[in-house]
Amino acid sequence: MSCEHLVCAQCAHPVIEGRCPLCRANRERLHQHGFAGLSPALIALLLVVLLFATLAAEHLAFR
């Protein structure tokens, strides 16, 4: 979702401009990415590490 076309109910200006505290808070909320505050790149890295750890554990279990 984008805030480019949203109008603030408090100050009646575009939210993207962030003229009032409500605009700024909503703009920041809309622009948050990731999961639980983590960036998508960090989530991908954690998944790759988990994959390699699982493969290593599986490899050691079959020896």
Cβ atoms 37, 31 nearer than 8 A: no
pLDDT beneath 70: ranges in the chain? 1-3, 33-34, 36-37
Q: Where do the structural domains in the chain lie, given as residue ranges?
A: 1-32, 37-63
The DSSP code for 9 is T
The predicted structure's pLDDT at residue 61: 86
Alpha helix (H) ranges present in the chain?
21-30, 40-61
The predicted structure's pLDDT at residue 27: 84
The predicted structure's pLDDT at residue 20: 93
Instruction: Write the DSSP assignment of 12-27 as a string of letters.
Output: -SBGGG--SHHHHHHH
Q: How far apart are CA 38 and CA 56, in angstroms?
A: 26
The predicted structure's pLDDT at residue 26: 84
Cβ atoms 30, 1 nearer than 8 A: yes
